[in-house]
Structure 1
Amino acid sequence: MRRPTTANPSRTPLAPVAAGLGLLLLGSLLCGVALGAAGVAAADVLRFLWAGLTGGTVSAADGAAYTIVWEIRLPRVVLGAVVGAGLASVGVAVQAMVRNALADPFVLGISSGAAVGANAVILLGAFAGLGVWALSVSAFGSALAAMALVYAAARTPQGLTPLRLILTGTALAYGFEAVTTVMVFGAARGEAARSAMMWLLGSLGGATWAQVPIAAVTVALGWAWLRRRAEALNALAMGDETAAALGVRPDVLRRELFLVTAAVTGTVVAVSGAIGFVGLMVPHLVRMVAGADHRRVLVLAPLAGAVLLVWADLLSRLLLAPAELPVGVITAVVGVPAFLLLMRRGDRPLGGR
């Protein structure tokens, strides 16, 4: 494949920016663990983390604080970073796949499909035999079913086209949302309806260590595949004819992208709910710094997405402490004005389109 020439190249050095975001992420993780309704000193956080990593012991007096740090907050902030990185990476891929700068990981209708399975557990008690895994398994399974339905409806003998993907995903998303609405209105009012609303707007409140490895491995594998195909994404973003001239088969690449983005989106939505604006906003912010080259964007976007979601989750815990806001509320409050500012700047992401 001939190497495509990317539009709007950036001379911003990549390594210092990536290193800076990496340090910012580490600091954000520390703040996410230390801050909350019950504050823990940074020195104690580091001591508890060292004890947890090395198998050390803590005094009985520190037992409650250690449990808060190691068993409650740390898996939550780590999962938040993983979900943020996954949503940002998939956002980059979806915008290239459908050649639409307003697309995000949820444009394919997968998150709405996952909501059907999640609410079947929350509101109807389905799959109760799976115990603590019922919500995640049901959400992921319904996300895969939604993916298969979108793919079957959007596919043509000529392959997957951007317009058909967007229209099909949007239409089916409305259908899935209608099913979810019927379930919410049909269920008894009370804590179940509130839990359903929290999940629909995104929440990391139920994070456990058991959820972290599956999400982390899926996001890492998805990111690695996208990074390896970055030059092909550059070609695809410039149009199917240009991509074909550069040796890329748009239909095949778009089908592969659909499967990868669906798997990653389904996995992160299953553990965090439908958190919006991360996959839409982060790619734009990163392109302002790194340019349109996906080889650069896919290095910075996961780091930026992780930082954003860690802080969004922290704010969701602090603003109404000890109560919590859905994370999606925070990302929307930040994302709407930020995105409007980006639109007014007249930036031209995706190779100048």
Structure 2
Amino acid sequence: MSLAPILNPAQSGRAGVPCSVVGASCLLAAASLLAPAIAADTVRDRDKAAIRAAAQAYQEALSRGDGPALAAFWTADGDIVDEQGNTLAGRKSAADATKPAAGTVRPDMRIRETNLRFLTDDVAIEDGTVEVGLPGIAQPVRGRFSATWVRGADGWKLAALREDRLDAPSDAETLQDLDWMVGEWTVVEDREGRPEAAAGDKPAMEITVRWNANRTFLLRDMKIPAAAADEANQAGTLNVTQRIGWDPLSRKIRSWVFSSDGGHGEAAWSRDGDAWVARTAAVLPDGTQTSSLNIYSFDGKDRCIWRSLPTHVGGEHAPAFTMVMTRKPKGKTP
């Protein structure tokens, strides 16, 4: 048997060395070079899976209103900046989440496209979009978020969350579109979706809305009896004053509210079909930050359904409620 084919440099790639030997050495060399990359990819894949599992568990805890479980996902100094630029303490605000009351319709939050990238082995950024379906409005509210995850001794935790809205309100919305609010309103609780059941109840609130002299602001005065307010902190009627106007800087309708107990807040308004949505952030007298979505569904005549719902991930979770606003006949005083 001739050894020429085996020793042929053209066939072996190295003069005088059998192809089988060269092939084996090449495979070993390639394997040694690829091994760290394969191992790194495997570790990275595990980290990605762990972060996505944590994000899913967070979303499930949010749906349950499980405050302690939500708080456990945050680092001690983690924070949230919402779409209006308000900064919230992540762990504290998450811990305030409460289980929804029986019959309460919770927002339907769905995470859509997400992208996960690693800055270091222990820090990752998750960018994504979210849709929140709300009762009383036709289309879901669409937003985007950027979450910073950091690896700790007990797994991946949220260190920061930044949120923004995708579907900006139309420039066609003007303050005049809220002219239907003008008048005097009696507000009662909508008990289990049956406003007639509360027809005999005392009003939970009295609201008067009027234009200012130049029709540049809607002035909204609310009187909340002590029985409907926080009885632990209110000695009498709580008076709330709100100004609603067009903000030329942000090109949207905004409102500013002040209460007699020292609380204050602001909101951005947008229209969704026949409903109006006010995204509200407020500060209570004790410094607690709260946020909510207030949805007003006007029937075109003298009745409006007012829903106040807990907001998105990380916000202060105030109790949800539904009220029925009924306009008083002209000339009738409280």
The TM-score with structure 1 as length reference comes to 0.22
TM-score (norm 2): 0.23
Instruction: Indicate the structure (1 or 2) with the bigger Cα radius of gyration.
Output: 2
**Structure with more strand by fraction:** 2
RCO comparison, higher one (Cα < 8 Å, 6+): 1
